[in-house]
Structure 1
Amino acid sequence: MRTADGHARNAPADLILRGGPVHTLAPGGRGAGATAVALRDGLVARVGDDSEVLALAGPATEVVDLAGRAVLPGINDSHLHATWLGALWPDTLFGEQAAPGPPPERPLLDDGRRRRAILRAGDLLASLGITSYTEPGLGPGEDHGRTGAFGTSVAEQYRALAAEGLLRARVTVLWLYGELDGPSDLENYLAGLAATDGATSDARWLRFAGVKIFADGIPPMRSAYTHHCYADGVRPSLLVGGADDAEREANLARMILAAHRAGRQVGVHATGDRSIDIMLDAVERARREHDVDLGHYVIHGDLVTGPQLRRMAALGVGLNTQPEIALRTRALVDDALGPGPAAAAWPLREAFDAGVPLCLSSDAPVLSPDWRRQIAAADAWMGPADDPRARMERLLRCYTVEPARQDHAASWKGTLAPGMAADLCVLEADPLALTPAELPDVTVEMTVVDGRIVHDRAASPRTTEPV
């Protein structure tokens, strides 16, 4: 006689996908060789071979024949400006150029337009297999920004859409108390940190995780805060306010310490090695005061060094980077810094070897939100792999498993083990049988979030609201 738990475990599934490789990416290779997955009540109910999983089919179960197509955990773009993307798409800042240009002027002037932009982005991301993303910077620092895509009102639109059940993906938000790509000051930062409310009705759909700080700019614009000398003699400063370099550095450290003391995660836009040093010193001090891993991370990290990567691994500091930017701007970094530091930029292979928690992301609409392109770019940047299949699996983890860790959600999403969130995507071919260079040509066939099909290429588009 089955127990109540046995009844629950063997209750009919809502949705079964069978007949193709299911890559769970679960620890220890759990689920390796699976060909089917069953979903029930928004969770993975069972993973295994077709006969094991079809045992959960009931009269109301929807069964999808994969016909050899491959299943992956849902893609998590851990650095993506979705509201801005929804306003600008199909345009991006890079376009087809080697460097970003000025964005199109399509300001979101009212809440209705902001809402529609979020929904439009949600439909686009669903078509790409993206089931989670991070909006890296919304808040009072941009309440009067010219785009209308980053202020407090955008955060309120996310709250409303989450409450109405209209989000197409799970969303993590970092608060922004300065200007996007611009200055911030300690006083307004501390006031914002104390005042903003991060409560939501369901943190699995919308979570306000912490804060974003712009430490510096980017190397091609001679605004990365670096120990190197720029070829033209430019000496950049931190974007954080202060009377001189020493005060600005101290203020950046105070910002990081204040967030850590408040239990908030910090994502620091830091491309220069000097700005990364300041961040790591602050995190090390914070961990001495209160030794808890809040998942702080470096955003971009263009000029991060080998010793810094080893410090990051020891401190639990992650790296969130965009390999396609590395490929596109290599010549511009050479022009700015000369061949020495430029040749050592974006050390992805060294980050893997050091054990740094590494997330790949798009920074859309700076680039396209197509994660397949970022994986191909990462592989091209790192050079030939001894084991291409292992390289592909590792890069896929940078868009699934590692972002779940960054989201403080590794216990419930990012893999397809039983009990995990029923978030997945279906590709027309098995990525582990391909090279990363081939991945951008592989179609996303289906996307499932919380057990619901939100994109099915073979069916009619499933949109939320007219846009």
Structure 2
Amino acid sequence: MRNRESWNARRPAAPAGDAPADLVLTGGRVHVFDEGDHLAQAIAVRAGRIVRVGHDREVAPLIGPGTREIPLRGRAVLPGINDSHLHGVWLGAMWPHLLMDALTAGAADTPPPPAPALRTSADRRAAILRTRDLLAALGVTSYTEPGLGPGEDGGDTGCFGSAALADYAQLAAEGELAARVTALLLFGELDGPGSADAFSAGLREFAAPAEVPGWFRVAGVKIFADGIPPMRSAWVCEPYPDGTHGGLLIDGDSAEQRLHRLTGMIHAAHAAGHQIGVHSTGDRTSAAVVSALGAALADDPRAARHYLIHGDLLPPGTLAEMAAAGIGLNTQPGIAVATRHLLHDTLGAHTLARMCPTRDALDAGVDVCLSSDSPVLTPDWRRGVVAAVTRAGVDGSVCGADQRLAVREALRAYTVTPARQDGAESWKGSLEPGKVADLCVLAADPLRVEVEALPQVPIELTVVDGRVVYEAASRG
């Protein structure tokens, strides 16, 4: 059984007293993102922790001879961005190519990006470090690597096997990471069929690398329950135009047997102490997964932080069950926006309007995390916020207008809520005293600009654990 103790209990206490700070930012718009959504002017950091947030005059006494003071001059400070579903090795191997390039550009004849082929530890480390530098420049201070493990040890790309876990752990131990990484284990193929027997064997036999506190942790497992709607492989209640309903990816001779095995996998992973992230897109799949997760939690109640990944089709009843059981949703409105024309042909206009129901989920009380699924979409969270708030494509067409979020809601879904998904809300995700100093500085306040202009607002500074990991060359 895995150690169920969260990162929370192993974080050092915040430095106390009025000793000079290491870093002070003054004269800005500091979005604390605490429960009251307070706005401050200044923030002080010592020994990797936030020690004071408030008006400039409240922070000024912590400025000493060795303090680095950065005048913000009205710029905005946000908690560090947490991309809670991003394939770091794959992204580093593919960048600057993205899987959705052709769809977002509206060019049907755009060739697919080249497939990576990482063969050695040096290849994988180089990809991880490339992602490190890319994300640091985007203000990303945490991310979840959603699926690395023995199920992909024979994979062609080399991006998802268990060796990548060891590379992450080694880089973390060497102090080479610039973002905190949470990983989910993968005991089947990425986006492919899964074996219940192989999953059970993985739970029993696979030894994940040891945690590097605060920097790398294997939190649980990922299960691919079904496919995706555009390929008609999501398990849905209403038939596709060809009369099919899709199905589960778990092995079995019948739909009933596949469902029984999926339920068993969920119960076994929960009993082993894992957090469970389930790739689930069809409404029929999600109803079954939520029922199984809810039953597992009822048998063994604990703060497991289980969640659905994507959750393209989630009817109100399923959302209500998720809220009641504390099951989260990790989703990407940008995928629905980018594939809206394909989805219209596959699901129809009525169903398309219900795709990626972020508004309904929040209103139902479900924890909603926004993420990139990069390199499917760009890792630029600013574009993710635009997609969540406008639900509009480059041609102006809208996918799910009723599901739009407010800018503040979208920002919290990239900061505060992912910290809860990580089980780390006591020490990261907001800019409150005592929490780690993970933050990013933007040239303008994202809550004061037109949301469509947000991707053009420069990110000028990224701080992780009190250390500057990115500083724009133009900053003074």
The normalised TM-score by structure 1 is 0.93
Check 1:274–1:101 CA distance in 2 against 1; reply closer, same or farther (3 A cut).
farther
1:52 and 2:67 correspond: no
Summarize the Cα distance change of 1:175–1:443 in structure 2 as closer, same or farther, 3 Å threshold: same
Asked whether the 8 Å contact 2:94–2:375 carries over to 1, the reply is yes
Superposition deviation, residue 435 in structure 1: 3.2
Question: Which residue is 2:74 aligned to?
Answer: 68
User: 1:101 and 1:405, CA in 2 relative to 1: closer, same or farther beyond 3 A?
Assistant: farther
Q: 2:148 corresponds to which residue?
A: 138
- Does residue 457 (structure 1) correspond to residue 467 (structure 2)? The answer is no
Give 1:160-171 correspondences, 5 Å limit. 160-171=170-181
Deviations 1:379-402 (A, max 9, x none): 1126489xx9x9211110000000
State the 1:156 CA deviation.
0.4
Q: Structure 2 CA distance, aligned partners of 1:292 and 1:111?
A: 37
In 2, Cα distance between equivalents of 1:401 and 1:117: 28
Letter aligned with residue 448 of structure 1: V
Residues 11-410 of structure 1: pairs in structure 2 closer than 5 A? 11-29=19-37, 32-98=38-104, 102-198=112-208, 200-381=210-391, 383=401, 391-410=406-425
Matched, 1:429 2:444: yes
- CA distance 1:384–1:248, shift in 2 (3 Å): closer
Q: Runs of 5+ in structure 1 lacking a partner? A: 461-467
Paired residues of 1:321 and 1:361 also in contact (CA < 8 A): yes
Cα shift readout 1:163-184 (whole Å, capped 9, x = no counterpart):
1000010000000000000011
1:240 Cα deviation from its structure 2 partner:
0.8
- What is the one-letter code of the residue matched to 2:469? V
2:45 match: secondary structure: strand
Query: For residue 83 of structure 2, what is the amino acid of its counterpart?
Result: D
- Aligned equivalent of 1:464: none
Give the Å deviation of 1:101.
Answer: 7.2
Q: Is the 8 A contact 1:86 1:120 kept in 2?
A: yes
* Deviant stretches of 4+, over 6 Å: none
1:34 shift after superposition: 1.0
Identity of aligned residues (%): 53
State the Cα distance separating 1:7 from its structure 2 match.
9.2
Secondary structure at the residue paired with 2:222? strand
Deviates more, 1:183-192 or 1:447-456: 183-192
Deviations 1:63-119 (Å, cap 9, x if unpaired)?
A: 111111100000000000011000000000111425897441221111101000000
* Paired position in structure 2 for 1:442: 457
Report if aligned partners of 1:198, 1:207 keep a CA contact under 8 Å in 2: no
Per-residue CA deviations over 1:418-448 (Å, capped at 9, x if unaligned) read 0001000000001111232221111111100
- The alignment partner of 2:329 has SS state of strand
Q: What is the DSSP-based 3-state SS (H/G/I as helix, E as strand, rest coil) of the residue aligned with 1:250?
A: helix
Q: Give the direction of change, closer, same or farther, for the CA distance of 1:331–1:86 in structure 2 (3 Å limit).
A: same
Please give the alpha-carbon distance, in whole angstroms, between the structure 2 residues aligned to 1:383 and 1:238: 29
CA distance in 2 between partners of 1:106 and 1:158 (Å)? 18
For 1:397 and 1:333, how far apart are their aligned partners in 2? 28
Tell whether the 8 Å contact from 2:416 to 2:425 is kept in structure 1 after alignment. yes
- Is contact 1:35-1:48 (8 Å) kept? yes
Q: What amino acid is aligned across from residue 415 of structure 1 in structure 2?
A: S
Matched residues in 2 for 1:17 and 1:196: separation? 45
Which residue in 2 is equivalent to 1:465?
Answer: none
Q: May I ask how many residue pairs the two structures share in their alignment? A: 451
Q: Give the Cα–Cα distance (whole angstroms) in 1 for the partners of residues 114 and 324 of structure 2.
A: 42
Cα shift at 1:288? 1.8
Query: Which has the higher mean CA deviation after the structures are superposed, 431-440 or 301-310?
Result: 431-440
Corresponding letter in the other structure for 2:417: E
2:332–2:356 Cα contact (<8 Å) kept: no
What does residue 412 of structure 1 align with?
Answer: 427
Distance change (3 Å), C-alpha of 1:226 and 1:150: same
Instruction: After superposing the two structures, state which structure 1 stretch, 236-245 or 261-270, moved more.
Output: 236-245
TM-score, normalised with respect to structure 2 = 0.91
Amino acid at match of 1:453: V
Q: CA deviation at 1:201?
A: 4.5
User: Aligned AA for 2:412?
Assistant: R
